[in-house]
Amino acid sequence: MKTYTQNILQVLFICGVIGFFALWQRSSNAWDFIVYTQQWPEAACVDINDTKSSHHHICTMTRNIQTWTIHGIWPSRFDGDGPFYCDNSYPFQESEITNLENIMDNKWPNLIIGTAKTSFWKHEWTKHGTCALNLLDLDCEHKYFKMGLDLNKRFDYKHILEDRNITPSETRYKLADMREAIESFTKSKINMQCIFAKDKSEQAIVQVEVCLDKKFNTIDCKTRYKAIGILPSWDDIPYNPVFESCSENLPTQYLPFRYVN
């Protein structure tokens, strides 16, 4: 039989191995799965404009925006922490995606007035895209953004929700109905984020995260993805939201588009 000391040493050894692996994973660019994130742009605009005192920027909706738009493709770890900003030897180059820009203006737009349309793309590539380079399907800038567009077409939430008679309007919906509509399509658990009325009496859907394995099959999102809230000083994206998970109990708006002209 093992002695008490041997048992303690065995436990310490196992804990040491686990700790070493966790430390190695964080110090490397290793990751386990992908979080593919889309936003409802009207709600994102409301949030930007409601918080503009902290960043001095204004969001507008133009008529080329007709559906859910892409936030990003985020390589992620099961513990929900990164990786981020993985390889500064691959800076964003607009020339790599010129043949995608027309559709990206509609499906992956920067909605903030007075900022370069590429600023959002540059941020997503620098923070997340450079961490995906070790996956063949995402091993260059063009592939990363092209995959984002392909996934936007695959996960067409506007039509998925329309099929359940859930449309942008003044109607208040049950979050459970919206969740069930999307999860019946993805065959997996998703994460949903909302913006909230100041009195917390209702909410509006703003973001949906679907989780994918490295072959882009859907998997369950088990926990809320932990977005980094503090950016390096050189990452000058004007607006960096960290949305809250939706409440399962509040009435939920699916805000109709309000275009500037």
Q: Per the residue annotation, which of 42, 123, 124, 209 is the catalytic one?
A: 124
Mean pLDDT confidence for 68-79: 95
pLDDT at position 1 over 60? no
Whether the link from the prior residue into 75 is cis, omega within 30° of 0, is no
Task: List the structure tokens of 68.
Answer: 């859910």
pLDDT at position 243 over 90? no
Q: Per the residue annotation, which of 57, 94, 123, 128 is the catalytic one?
A: 128
Q: Per the residue annotation, which of 71, 123, 141, 209 is the catalytic one?
A: 71
Element (H, E) at 254: strand 251-254
Mean pLDDT confidence for 238-256: 88
Query: Phi/psi of residue 172, each to 5°?
Result: -100, 125
Q: Tell me: the pLDDT tens digits for 32-45? A: 999 999 999 999 99
* CA–CA gap between residue 20 and residue 127 (Å, rounded): 25
The per-residue pLDDT for 6 is: 53
**C-alpha distances out from residue 240 to 48, 51, 54, 57, 229, Å:** 9, 11, 11, 12, 7
Angle at 97 between CA 91 and CA 57, to 5 degrees: 70
Res. 250 pLDDT band, cuts 50 70 90: very high
* CA–CA gap between residue 59 and residue 46 (Å, rounded): 8
Q: Tell me: the pLDDT tens digits for 208-226? A: 999 999 999 999 998 665 5
Could you confirm whether 124 is annotated as catalytic?
yes
Strands 69-76 and 169-174: unpaired
SS3 per-residue string spanning 49-101: HHCHHHCCCCECCCCCCCCCEEEEEEEECCCCCCCCCCCCCCCCCHHHHCCCH
Q: Which residues pair with 195 in a beta bridge?
A: 204
Nearest in space to 90 (alpha carbons), one of 150, 29, 37, 27? 29
Between 82 and 181, the more confident residue is: 181
The per-residue pLDDT for 4 is: 52
Could you confirm whether 183 is annotated as catalytic?
no
* CA–CA gap between residue 175 and residue 224 (Å, rounded): 16
Res. 246 pLDDT band, cuts 50 70 90: very high
Res. 260 pLDDT band, cuts 50 70 90: confident
